[in-house]
Structure 1
Amino acid sequence: MEQHKQKWIFLIILSLVWGSSFILMKKALISLNPVQVGALRILITAIFLFLIGFKRVFKINKTQWYYLFLNGVIGSFIPVFLFAFAVKHIDSSIASILNSLTPLNTLIFGYLVFGFAYRRKQLLGVLIGLAGTVILILKGAEINPSQNYLYSILVLIATICYAFNLNIIKKHLQDLDALSIAVGNFMILMIPALIILYFTGIFSTFEVDEASTMSLVYITILAVFGTGLAKILYNHLIKISTPVYSSSVTYLIPIVAILWGILDGEKISAVQILAGGIIIFGVYLVNKAK
């Protein structure tokens, strides 16, 4: 299959999977706390990836393990906890729109830290995206006064983590295939996730009932599809395209997430949709300026 078509197919699949991940997090949080959701997501993903690709570990050389550690911690470990706490306190649809800042941060930190070039139009896109973010947060705080929009900062930090993750893969792990990167990442993360899960007391306090069982079902679906399989596809997409192009999957994620949010009874105003459009337009400028 031509790379151009392959990139579009990957973008569409990832947007559907990750767009649905926000509502899955929200449902998992009904019976689990954010730390448990984050740790279980990593642990279940690690087990799944180890089962389907443990042989890939032997393809990883010593020098690559350092960057896999950075990639795993920054690109997976930290964000899953940040998003779990954010979705606990703000609407999942709003979190997904804020996630659209990933391409903007990819550009900023790609230039500042990794030395990738940028154009003036891309800088304009960054400023437009930031303006949309401010409008989105302020309006959200107005129509949902019971929600603590300070937790939006956690999503912004997560998008910065994703930006570093993209650039690390592109610059330092280009010679490693997508599945090997994913398996290496989560082999490293499995032990700390298990330790964190143990200290949450889940093994001694977890009670089996309908609500807790459904939470486990949601987090398992999220881990296998939203993290495991999606991570493999995303790593491959990064390898066959640019970091900024890969991060443009966040164009489509909010559309899917907002639809799920509305179906679940979340409130979203026309001004917030406009603010989301402003963010996405800013991201569009970043990607269009070749």
Structure 2
Amino acid sequence: MNSVVNRRALRASALALAVGVVLLAGCKRDEGDTTAAPAAATSAAQPADIDTAATPAAPVELRDVIENTPQAVVGISYPTDLARYPGLAKALADYASAARGELQQAVDGLGNDKPSMPYELSLSFEKVLETPQLVVVSADGSRYTGGAHGEPLVARFVWLPEQQQMLTADKLVADAKGWKAVSDYIADQLRERLATRLSSEDMDPGQLQESLRSASRMIADGTEPSADNFSQFQPLTGTDGKISAVRFVFPPYQVGPYSDGTQTVDVPASVLAPHVGTAYAGLFAQG
């Protein structure tokens, strides 16, 4: 046990050392900048974009990456025990490769120039759930290629070991009626959270109403009932191993400004289960 803890600590320390200088520099480059950066869509391959057909996958070795050059800093870390799920491992490797490819494209665009602040890719994969039926891995990080802020990288991978395939949003919910139910529940939760937060701030009534209207428009746009808006999710399980709720994850800019960061809403199984595809209904708690 101590050796595992020490190994993880060393790995985390090495990654932190490699990207720490950029993170500190990022604080300096954002200092005094109160203007929100334009929305930057994460264009690295998302789990739904990756080929996850139920065919045997060749073993994939996931190795942490620490690179530091005058033009760019790269730090990528993986869980250490995913070899038993080669299809999942390949999906993680493909996502990281796409993120690195876009960083490299930006670096290539510099030519012989050196950026005022090194470009950066920081990406951490973490296993957040493992049962015989479900393995869930989170990916969180950012890619900086100039400007006021880094581009957030947010993804969730839900692997079904028994079927040897990824569970994606378009498979999870069977039809438009189901997405409408999910959309309504999540939008209500976000609006309630927003109203509670804004009401605690020192605003005059007119300013409060305008802030509510503006933020509510972002929530409405980001929660329109389609699978694309709910592509990032992670199941939460009870003591019986069944899914008791699904946590939907929204990167910055989708349902709020960059300053609000990544937001999540947990949808109970009682709301979601009636709309789940037949093939996956057995994963959910009943009643």
Q: TM-score, normalized by length of structure 2?
A: 0.30
Relative contact order (alpha carbons < 8 A, sep ≥ 6): 1 or 2 greater? 1
Could you say which structure has the higher strand fraction?
2
Could you say which structure has the higher helix fraction?
1
Q: Which has the larger radius of gyration?
A: 2
